[in-house]
Amino acid sequence: MRTERQKPEWQGRTLRKPLFPIPGYREEVQRTLRRIFVVNVLVVFGKLLIGWRAHSLSILSDAVHSSVDAMNNIVGLLVIRYATATPDAGHPYGHRKIESLAAFTLGGVLLITCVEIISRAIERLQDPSRIRVHVDPLTLAILIGTIFINAAVFIYERRKGRALGSPFLLADALHTRSDILVTGALLVGLVFIRWRLPILDPLLAIAISVAIAMSGWQIFVRTVPILIDAAPVSPERIEAIVRSVPGVEQVRDIRSRSDGERIFLDLVLVLKPEDVRTAHEITEQIEERLHDAFGPCQVTIHMEPS
């Protein structure tokens, strides 16, 4: 029985729905991600080109911010291809942590990039003579063009995400929308720089780097608990659910972890009845109530007599 999942206490957001709600889901999501990836790469190269041409650290920073969209597409393709593979003898719990590992690596790259950008911005602020930003109409026109392209990507990806029921596409569309806002703010700043305020360039670069760092930190907050097997649900909550089933005398040694999609629960159950059939019925009721509370989860129960 498929039910709506509760919010894990360490994550603060609803876990995603099953990955394959409709036939052809995997192929359609992969096709969508490949198309968006090509567009995102063109946007990144366009910003890198005008940033190098204008000697603008803020535009180069925005190019790095836009590259997150392209890297998210790669992570998405990796997840759809490998992380959703069927469990095998070497990976009995599945491959879902590949997604978390890939995202964690992406977050590290983002933070390292932010440190580099901020250090260069500080150097320019300490020596304003190094700020030689040249913003011409072509630079502004290309930036405006990237905003319209990202807006089209946002609308397309959100529509596909809703049609396919894909949480990954919907989340990635929201990040594309944030890229539109950052580029829009940068565009306003470049207009002031064109009015002979070049000191704004390193300041804008630092502001954009902070936005990138926040994205990296959010990735860490989401992935680190999964990678270190942090408990997604408190033992007290699990115990309350289990003890609500008639016939349960005691529950102990409760453990839980998540792979980012499912929750795995282990517990020791002390039962009153001596009848094996009754004990089996009790464990089935426990599993059903845990599924109702947390969605699809794998429950391992060790039974002991009272």
Express each pLDDT in 90-131 by its tens digit.
Answer: 877 777 777 677 778 777 877 877 887 788 778 777 877 666
Distance CA 69, CA 294 (A): 31
- Supply the CATH number for residue 129's domain: 1.20.1510.10
pLDDT band, very low/low/confident/very high, at 22 (cuts 50, 70, 90): low
- The reply to whether 9 falls in a domain is no
Average pLDDT of the residues in 145-157: 93
pLDDT reading at 132 higher than 90: no
Domain end point (choices 174, 208, 227): 227
Do 85 and 135 share a domain, yes or no?
yes
| Cα 25 to Cα 97, 155, 210, distances in angstroms | 20, 19, 36
Given this model, what pLDDT does residue 306 score? 67
Given this model, what pLDDT does residue 260 score? 73
Given this model, what pLDDT does residue 16 score? 38
Tokens 């095998």, residue located:
88
- The reply to whether 4 falls in a domain is no
- The reply to whether 18 falls in a domain is no
Q: Name the more confident of 80 and 39.
A: 39
- The reply to whether 256 falls in a domain is yes
Q: Name the more confident of 261 and 180.
A: 180
Do 48 and 75 share a domain, yes or no?
yes
SS (H, E, C) the chain: CCCCCCCCCCCCCCCCCCCCCCCCHHHHHHHHHHHHHHHHHHHHHHHHHHHHHHCCHHHHHHHHHHHHHHHHHHHHHHHHHHHCCCCCCCCCCCCCHHHHHHHHHHHHHHHHHHHHHHHHHHHHHHCHHHCCCCCCHHHHHHHHHHHHHHHHHHHHHHHHHHHHCCHHHHHHHHHHHHHHHHHHHHHHHHHHHHCCCCCHHHHHHHHHHHHHHHHHHHHHHHHHHHHCCCCCCCHHHHHHHHHCCCCEEEEEEEEEEECCCCEEEEEEEEECCCCHHHHHHHHHHHHHHHHHHHCCEEEEEEEEEC
Do 125 and 184 share a domain, yes or no?
yes
Q: Name the more confident of 131 and 180.
A: 180
Percent of the chain with pLDDT over 90: 10
Q: Name the more confident of 304 and 154.
A: 154
The verdict on pTM exceeding 0.75 is no
pLDDT reading at 44 higher than 90: yes
Do 214 and 254 share a domain, yes or no?
no
- The reply to whether 187 falls in a domain is yes
Domain enclosing residue 133, as ranges: 25-227
Q: Name the more confident of 275 and 221.
A: 221
Domain end point (choices 177, 200, 227): 227
Do 247 and 220 share a domain, yes or no?
no
Domain end point (choices 227, 244, 261): 227
Do 48 and 137 share a domain, yes or no?
yes
